[in-house]
Structure 1
Amino acid sequence: MSFLFILILLIIIIIIVGIIWWKFIHKGKKLKTIMILGLCEAGKTVLYYQLKDGIFVETQSSMKENETRTIKLKKKNKDEKESEKNKEVHLLDWPGHARLRGKLDQFYPILDAIIFVLDSSDTQLETITSTAEFIYQIFTDPKMNMSPIPFLFACNKSDLYTSYSPSKLKQIIQVEFNRIKDSKTDKIIQNQKSFNFDKAKFFNQWVSISAKDGKIDSVYDFLEKQLNL
């Protein structure tokens, strides 16, 4: 038996053992599932591509979701030098069209976190009402309440001079949320005299971002702290 034959045989055995070992350590491994939600034109898909590829991509409203199983987490050290690492995560970018919201509840049981993107420069009554109704729908869903998950309210387009701060947006939406609550009969929320995001069943954090400019450090921080990525 020649030396070359033995060498080739050993290489094949090493490759096979490596594949078996890789499958063994990944067997049953559940990826963290994160969903990006929000109204149309809020910047959801721009944020999605920043997390997926670390780049700005011009996008337009779509009726189809985007998804990936790898995201790029960027972090600055004490010297302000940026490092980047790939993380295995199931990231879903859901379309903002109201007609598709009825399909969301099928995903709630598998979600580990929700990133809700808001356009911080748009505080028209119609937008605020639609946003509050969307959040109300999620917060009062029985499936969502079975196992509460963390929420990140990402107030996008902070680069615009007309943008509102996260605290101001939270206050405005909270007022509209309570108006909607008072017109409903949902037992899940009705037991609260006045809804307050700070006392909500779901952990929620409100931050300022500019997805277009890649200024999403607060999103990275949320993912690292809340999901241990």
Structure 2
Amino acid sequence: IEADSTGSSMEEKPDVEMAENPFEPYIEPLRRQLENQEPVFLIGVIVALAVVISSCVFLKYFLSSKTVRSAVLLVGLCDSGKTLLFCRLLSGKFKRTQTSITDSSAPYKAKSDRGSTWTLIDLPGHESLRSQYLEKFKSTARAIVFVVDSAIFQKEVRDVAEFLYDLLTDIVISRNAPAIIVACNKQDITMAKSAKLIQQQLEKELNTLRVTRSAALSSQDGSIGGSMYLGKKGKDFEFGQLSMKVEFVECSARGSKSEDGDAELERLEKCLAKL
């Protein structure tokens, strides 16, 4: 019995080893083959493998970190008419609104042959909220619609310019260069300023702001704390100096016939159709 047990175990042992090492028959020939190769060849193989692995890692990181910029942001001061403009662009209907304290978003289909669809996002205009919401969505912006109240622009020009300055000098926005559309809203009101006048006054105000804030820009490339130098050094500021395209359009979310009429958004919609 002992002999049988011993014999049985002796016969089973090779089977166990073969099961545990299925590649063993190939390892020894491979080892001998590698030993016969020149060191230069082996170094080349190692370098090639390293390049392939690093390329795969980089590609995976690039694809996972890439942000799709498919949002159209509506920004501006409080009571500039952003929320009504948001409703008009989506449905064409008039809707009574109130000051927003959070963002609102919905799919917007551009009026063009391509019929591209963007995510339209209305951001709060209150001074204590707008920066944090802009920070949240700025990297996804394909376009930024900066809404201005044309009727009281003269009173708000300083505040409008400061907000626009922060937006235009933001490093992320400057790098991505989304289309900037300054929507001069409330053109239905008699005292509303024209888009051309608003552009001229903003250029002057931004030029003044650039001078007062330039002392804080101490690095060689003109950037510090997430900001870029606005325009070209040594020249008065103009919107044409920016890397991103800036357009000024006149519009009226309320419409000339008040609540019963259609909004006057043709020029704004044409800009959005070109995105």
Q: Could you state the TM-score of these two structures normalised by the residue count of structure 1?
A: 0.75
Does residue 108 in structure 1 map to residue 138 in structure 2?
yes
Does residue 41 in structure 1 map to residue 79 in structure 2?
yes
Aligned to 2:270: 221
Q: CA deviation at 1:199?
A: 2.2
Unaligned runs of 5+ in 1: 1-29, 76-84
Measure the CA separation in 1 of the matches of 2:196 and 2:119.
29
Measure the CA separation in 1 of the matches of 2:207 and 2:174.
18
Q: For 1:163, what is the secondary structure of its paired residue?
A: coil
Measure the CA separation in 2 of the matches of 1:178 and 1:100.
26
Q: Percent identity?
A: 29
Q: CA deviation at 1:136?
A: 0.4
Q: CA deviation at 1:163?
A: 0.7
Does residue 199 in structure 1 map to residue 241 in structure 2?
yes
* Contact 1:31-1:88 at 8 Å conserved across structures: no
Q: CA deviation at 1:102?
A: 2.6
Q: For 1:161, what is the secondary structure of its paired residue?
A: coil
Aligned to 2:206: 177
Does residue 156 in structure 1 map to residue 185 in structure 2?
yes
Measure the CA separation in 2 of the matches of 1:184 and 1:66.
33
Alignment of 1:18-33 (within 5 A): 32-33=70-71
Q: CA deviation at 1:32?
A: 2.2
**1:34 maps to amino acid:** V
Unaligned runs of 5+ in 2: 1-67, 223-227, 256-262
**1:93 maps to amino acid:** D
Q: Could you state the TM-score of these two structures normalised by the residue count of structure 2?
A: 0.63
Q: Which of 229, 232, 237 is the aligned partner of 1:189?
A: 229
Structure 1 residues 86 and 55 mapped into 2: Cα distance closer, same or farther (>3 Å)? Answer: farther
- Structure 1 or 2, whichever has the larger Rg, is 2
Aligned to 2:147: 117
* Contact 1:159-1:210 at 8 Å conserved across structures: yes
**1:192 maps to amino acid:** K
Q: Which of 250, 255, 260 is the aligned partner of 1:208?
A: 250
Aligned to 1:17: none
Q: For 2:78, what is the secondary structure of its paired residue?
A: coil
Measure the CA separation in 1 of the matches of 2:81 and 2:200.
21
